[in-house]
Structure 1
C-alpha cells in the first residue's frame, strides 16, 4: 500500500533559501562584471603599449633615414626654410654659413618640430587649416599603402651651424611617427656632426 503524499501548507513556508540564492547570484554577477571590466582595461593598455612600440620603431627608422640624408646634402648648396620645404628647416639664431642658406633670422617661429605656419597646409585634405610643418612638409619615409599605420613617418633636418673648433657642420634630425591609431605619436631627435 502506498503512503499518501502530504503537502506542506502555505502558512508553514518560510522562503529563506530563495533569498539566500538570489543574494549569491547578485554577488557572482558583480564579480563577473568586475572581472570583465578589468580584462577590457588590461587589453586596452596592452594594445596601446604595442601601438606605441610600433610608432617608436617607425620613428627610429625615419630618424636613421634622415641621418643618412645628411650625406646627400653635405657640401651642396642647400636652402633651409622656416616652413621646412623638402624636410629642411632653418633654426632661429642660425645665420648663413658656407654652402647653406637660411631665411631671415626669425626668433618667433618656435621649434621646427612644433612649428605651425600659414604656409604649412596639407593640399590633400579638404580642411585648409595650417598644421605642424613636420606633418606637411617633412620628408616622408614611405612604408607602402597597406602598412596598417595611420600616417607614414616623416623627418626634418635642421642646420645648426659649424663648430669653430673642428670645422664640423652640426645638424639636428627630428623624426615623427604614428601608430595604427592616429593619436599614437612618437617624436625622436638626434644630433649629427659631419665628418
Structure 2
C-alpha cells in the first residue's frame, strides 16, 4: 500500500513539474517579446533622431548658403554703383550706359533696380495693410512691393542673356552689370535693389558725443542709399534678406 501511495505521489509531482515547465516557457516568451519591442522602439527612436539631425544640418547649410549669396549680392550692388560702365563689362548681361549713377537714374517704378520714393510713403508703410501706398519697394510682390519675382522679365545670367536690359524692374540678378560670375548650386541667383534717399548733411560735433547738423553747411542735401539683397539657398524656399546703408 505504501508503494502505491509513493507511485501516485510521484506521478502527481511529475504532472505539476510538466505544468511548471510549460508555464515557464510561456513567461520566457513574454519576456523575450517585451525585450524585442523595447529594442525595436529604441532603434526607431535612434533612426528618427538621426534623420532629424541630418535635416537640421541640411537646413543650416542651406541657410548659410543663402546668407553668403545675399552677401555676394550686397558687394555686387556696391560695385555696380561705384564702377558703372558705359559699355557692358566682360560677362555682364547689360550696361548702365554711363560711368556714374546720379539721383535722376532712380525711379518710383524701380527700373533697373534703382528706386526712389517720397519720404511720406515710408511713413505709411504697414505689413498688415500693405498696398500700393503702404508698402516699401523692397517688399515682395505679395505685399505690394516692387521686387518682381518674374525671372523671365529680367536679363539672364545662366546663360548670359541681354534681353530685357532696358525694360526690367525690381531686383537685379547678380552680375547683371558687373559681370560677376553666377553662383553655382543655388536654386536662383541672388538679387539686389538700390534705394535713393535725400538727407540733410550731418556731422559729429566738436566733442564728438552726438550726431549734429550744427556744422558747416548743415542745410545742404546729401545722398544716401539703401541696398537690399536677397539670397537663395539650394531650395528657392530658403531665402535671406540683408540690408546696408551705402554712402559713397
Q: TM-score range by the shorter chain?
A: 0.7 to 0.9
Matched, 1:13 2:46: no
Structure 1 distance, partners of 2:67, 2:48, is 29
Instruction: Name 2:152's counterpart in structure 1.
Output: 124
Task: Give 5+ residue unaligned stretches, structure 1.
Answer: 1-8, 95-106, 126-135
Task: Give 5+ residue unaligned stretches, structure 2.
Answer: 1-16, 85-98, 121-131, 154-168, 176-180, 202-217
1:59-98 CA-partner distances (Å, limit 9, x unpaired): 111101112222237454633223321110112327xxxx
Instruction: Name 1:114's counterpart in structure 2.
Output: 139
Structure 2 distance, partners of 1:61, 1:123, is 19
Instruction: Name 2:76's counterpart in structure 1.
Output: 65
Tell me by how many angstroms 1:177 deviates.
Answer: 0.6
Matched, 1:90 2:116: yes
Residues 114-123 or 20-29, more deviating:
114-123
Alignment match of 1:25 (pick from 18, 24, 36):
36
Structure 1 distance, partners of 2:71, 2:191, is 11
Residues 154-163 or 21-30, more deviating:
154-163
Tell me by how many angstroms 1:179 deviates.
Answer: 0.3
Instruction: Name 1:149's counterpart in structure 2.
Output: 186
Taking structure 1 as the reference length, what is the TM-score of the superposition? 0.72
Distance 1:75 1:181, change over 3 A: closer
Instruction: Name 2:245's counterpart in structure 1.
Output: 191
Structure 2 distance, partners of 1:87, 1:38, is 45
Match of 1:148, SS state, is coil
Q: Is the 8 A contact 2:77 2:227 kept in 1?
A: yes
Match of 1:43, SS state, is helix
Match of 1:110, SS state, is coil
1:165-193 CA-partner distances (Å, limit 9, x unpaired): 37541100000011001111000011011
Distance 1:149 1:77, change over 3 A: same
Instruction: Name 1:47's counterpart in structure 2.
Output: 58
Structure 1 distance, partners of 2:243, 2:151, is 27
Structure 1 distance, partners of 2:145, 2:242, is 25
Aligned alpha-carbon RMSD (Å): 3.0
Matched, 1:140 2:165: no
